[in-house]
A and B are shown apart, each in its own frame.
Chain A
Amino acid sequence: MTVEHAHAGHAQAQAQHGDMPFMSMVDVTKDLPRSRDGLPMEWVEVPFGPMFPGLPGGLLLTLTLDGDAVAKTRVRSVVGGGGVLPTAGLDATSFIAHLGAMDPLAPVAYRLLACRALEAAAGQVPDEEIRRRRIAVLERERIASHLGWLAMLGLQTGFAWLERHATRMQLECLRADLPRILQLRSTIQALTARLVRTPLLRSRLHGSGIVRPSSDLRGPVARAAGMRCDARIDDETYAALAFEMTERQGGDAFDRLHIRLGEMQQSLALIQSVGGFAEPASTVVGSASGAGHASLETPRGEAQLHLVLESGRVVQAQLDTPTTHHMKLLPDLLDQQELGDALTTVCSLDLSPWEVAA
């Protein structure tokens, strides 16, 4: 029942009782929505977002609250749709920049995705060393993204130390060159050890937002639920770097924390064995034509891009992003959760509203 309806019912109930000497509680509450425990209560619709501390900016959650529990969830992105291709199409270099500008939370991943799809369409295979160095850049972004997520988790759960520490580390990581980023290793290990030991953090996250394996899971969320879901395991460049996927079985927010903490160390190891960076800024496709497909493991999970190239211009592009799938999970996942737990669950999925299709 909607809130307006509930209120109309309430007013109606009162009007009926205007001429009655005794106002029965049963009558007053008969039109109210029933909670899980059978009590008739009024529900309130409260917006969380698009600028809520502890939720990714641009995400609008409208929660219908039954007391402090979530009875209904509506979710949408108010900043999504940036990746839509203009009708006139784009030349290759602008397309890479266009896709990279779509998601400010993972620009490198989408630029690399665009490069790979363009190269596939043009039938080119870049040099092995370039491929390795691009992976190093992608992995650096993964570390930065996970640190950003940790900072957000700190903000959401009121863990002030984590928020500040992770933010500082993220800034360091974004600016770091190779020797500096390898110095981060001990800091990240220390952070991991500390978070595992922090009292209350386990009880805070354990059992929150348990997801079962399904086709809508991507990236760390899927791997925390025991799915072998990672675009990197099929990539021969990663295979040459001896990449091993990690997974956990629980599927709750605590498992997602563990997966991300482990991935940061794994990414550092990958960067170390590559030993250099190459930004995926542009690629030479000339006036090639053809259709191309590429998939890539962004920090949030696997993203796929299909595009059609006509004499050097991108005329069609179709993008599939992890957040688009994860947002579909929310209404079922948040149902009947306590408000704080529900928001922690949303935070633990690490959504990026920017990469959602309009």
Chain B
Amino acid sequence: MSALQQYGLLLALICGVIGLVLILFALARAIGRTQQEPGKNVPATAGMPSRDPVWVRYHARYYGYALLFLAFDMEMAFMYPWAVVYRQTGLVALLDMGVFLAILFLGLLYGWSQGAFRRQ
């Protein structure tokens, strides 16, 4: 199977799943429709109506981690091709990647020392 055919198959799979979900929705609709009643569509809270919208500037307190995560995520893009040819290339590959990872790991240690790894 060529790569194009494989992707075609996966696309068909996605379409099939969406179709399945639509069938489920149709089935649910056939059983009964949602009644429109006042107070029913309020966002879930534990017994008290809450305010909405809650779409706000949200304070994600893990931003220190998030910045370092970017660096590590980029690095992984290099790791996969390297992993595949690793045994052919041998010890040199280990040293090459070792130096690269060591630098990255120093970055991690630096971030750690600067307090990136805590709730801000």
Task: Tell me, rounded to whole Å, the shortest Cβ–Cβ distance linking A340 to chain B.
Answer: 12
Q: Which of A34-42, A209-217, A263-271, A276-284 contacts B (4 or more CB under 8 A)?
A: A34-42
B54 part of interface (Cβ distance < 8 Å):
yes
Task: Tell me, rounded to whole Å, the shortest Cβ–Cβ distance linking B49 to chain A.
Answer: 8
Interface of A is mostly: loop
Bound complex: CA A53 to CA B44 (Å): 13
Bound complex: CA A255 to CA B119 (Å): 24
Which of chain B's residues 39-61 have a Cβ closer than 8 Å to chain A? 45-51, 54, 56-61
Contact with B along A42-75 (1 / 0, CB 8 A): 1111111111110100001010001111000000
Contact with B along A16-40 (1 / 0, CB 8 A): 0000000000000100100101011
Bound complex: CA A50 to CA B60 (Å): 27
Contact of A44 among B49, B56, B61 (CB under 8 A): B56
Contact of A49 among B46, B51, B54, B60 (CB under 8 A): B46
Contact of A42 among B56, B61, B119 (CB under 8 A): B56
Interface of B is mostly: loop
Task: Tell me, rounded to whole Å, the shortest Cβ–Cβ distance linking B4 to chain A.
Answer: 44
Contact of B51 among A35, A40, A45, A66 (CB under 8 A): A45
**Chain A residues touching B, range:** 20 to 34
Task: Tell me, rounded to whole Å, the shortest Cβ–Cβ distance linking B45 to chain A.
Answer: 5
Q: Which residue of A lies closest to B60 (CB)?
A: A67
Bound complex: CA A44 to CA B48 (Å): 15
Task: Tell me, rounded to whole Å, the shortest Cβ–Cβ distance linking B21 to chain A.
Answer: 29
Task: Tell me, rounded to whole Å, the shortest Cβ–Cβ distance linking B43 to chain A.
Answer: 10
Contact with B along A196-234 (1 / 0, CB 8 A): 000000000000000000000000000000000000000
Give B residues with C-beta under 8 Å from A.
Answer: 45-51, 54, 56-61, 119-120
Q: List 22 A-B contacts (CB under 8 A).
A: A35-B59, A40-B57, A41-B56, A41-B57, A41-B58, A41-B59, A42-B56, A44-B51, A46-B45, A47-B47, A47-B50, A48-B46, A50-B47, A55-B46, A62-B48, A66-B59, A67-B59, A67-B60, A69-B59, A69-B61, A338-B61, A338-B119
Which 9 residue pairs across A and B have the least CB separation, nearest first?
A67-B59, A42-B56, A52-B46, A47-B48, A41-B59, A51-B47, A42-B57, A50-B47, A51-B46
